Structure 1
Amino acid sequence: MVKMCLRCYQERPLDSFRKGDRELVSCAPCREYARGNSYKNRRAQPSKVRADNLWALYRIRPEEYDALREAQAYRCAICGIHESEITVGSRGRPRLDGTPNAEPFRLVVDHYHASKRVRGLLCGPCNAGLGGFRDDPALLTAAARYLLN
């Protein structure tokens, strides 16, 4: 018997959702991850902030992001630009402790909004373009036809 975790959307064995006499909505790996990811720990370690953001928004770990980058040869999945050629704008607010901000990631995660399933990594302009067309293939096709006229 399996049950879907409401945090990671993965099917896990039922015993992963039990704690004593209670039945929980999140699986054991998600609960373990949340315990080690408190606000205090996040503020002290920028890598924890990155890991938390990737997990909260896309349900992937930093290792999965890095593997996807490598699989795409560090290039945008649509236009093929290498991440080293992408110019990045703002690096966000200055850190409270005065240390420099981390280098921003140049390839962003693209995902299906309904299922949160990751499609790949894109440069900012390609990601914004898909968002502008609301991920609708019919609109993208119409735009391509328009450009070809």
Structure 2
Amino acid sequence: MEVPTGCKLCRQCGEVKPHSEWHKNASASDGLSTRCKACRAVQGRAGHLKRAYGLTEAERDAMIAAQGGVCILCQESLAEHVDHDHQTGKVRGVLCFGCNAGIGQLKDRPDVLRRAAAYVEGNLWKPTIVAQGVYRQPS
């Protein structure tokens, strides 16, 4: 296959792409990576799933399909982010960005999440003062 000047053949996808579609690699003879940016990105995501969660892309996709393709919490947005317990590392499900970030902002603490739900439902969480500096929390 003849490759035009200013282009390179990707060993992964087999496509000829312009040099702008390649990362630089100072140790390579032509100064460019062996795989195009798109192929590196796909492989990078797959590697991250395996390293971080022990999942393949197929396993993640099966979880998303089992959830109907949507976030397991809000059941509206697309499920794209693998959620896991930061203590045990166990994968819980696949969430949308907003729900995953929300759980993270509340530090994965069920007690805080329950209070947040009660707050949103209009049940204000107000501790009762028993003595100066001593509070009783509602049960």
Question: TM class, shorter-chain normalised?
Answer: 0.5 to 0.7
Secondary structure at 2:55 match in 1: coil
Residue 47, structure 1, aligned to residue 20, structure 2: no
Larger proportion of strand? 2
Once the two structures are aligned, what percentage of the paired residues are identical? 36
> Highest relative contact order (Cα 8 Å, sep 6+), 1 or 2?
1
Secondary structure at 2:50 match in 1: helix
1:120–1:42 distance in 2 versus 1, CA, 3 Å: farther
Moved more, 47-56 or 130-139: 47-56
Size of the aligned set, in residue pairs, is 89
Residue 145, structure 1, aligned to residue 112, structure 2: no
**Deviation for aligned residue 1:41:** 6.8
Secondary structure at 2:52 match in 1: helix
Given that 1:42 and 1:49 are in contact with CA atoms closer than 8 Å, whether structure 2 keeps it comes out as no
Q: Pick the aligned partner of 1:59 from 54, 59, 62.
A: 54
Q: TM-score, normalised by structure 1?
A: 0.53
Q: TM-score, normalised by structure 2?
A: 0.57
Query: What's the CA shift string for 1:21-56, capped at 9, x where partnerless?
Result: xxxxxxxxxxxxxxxxxx967965433212101011
Unpaired runs of 5+ in structure 2?
1-32, 124-139
Larger radius of gyration: 2
Given that 1:42 and 1:48 are in contact with CA atoms closer than 8 Å, whether structure 2 keeps it comes out as no
Larger proportion of helix? 1
Aligned twin of 2:86: 113
**Deviation for aligned residue 1:75:** 0.5
1:141–1:49 distance in 2 versus 1, CA, 3 Å: same
Counterpart of 2:105, as a letter, is: G
Q: 1:1-149, aligned counterparts within 5 Å? A: 44-83=39-78, 107-147=80-120, 148-149=122-123
1:42–1:66 distance in 2 versus 1, CA, 3 Å: farther
Counterpart of 1:117, as a letter, is: K
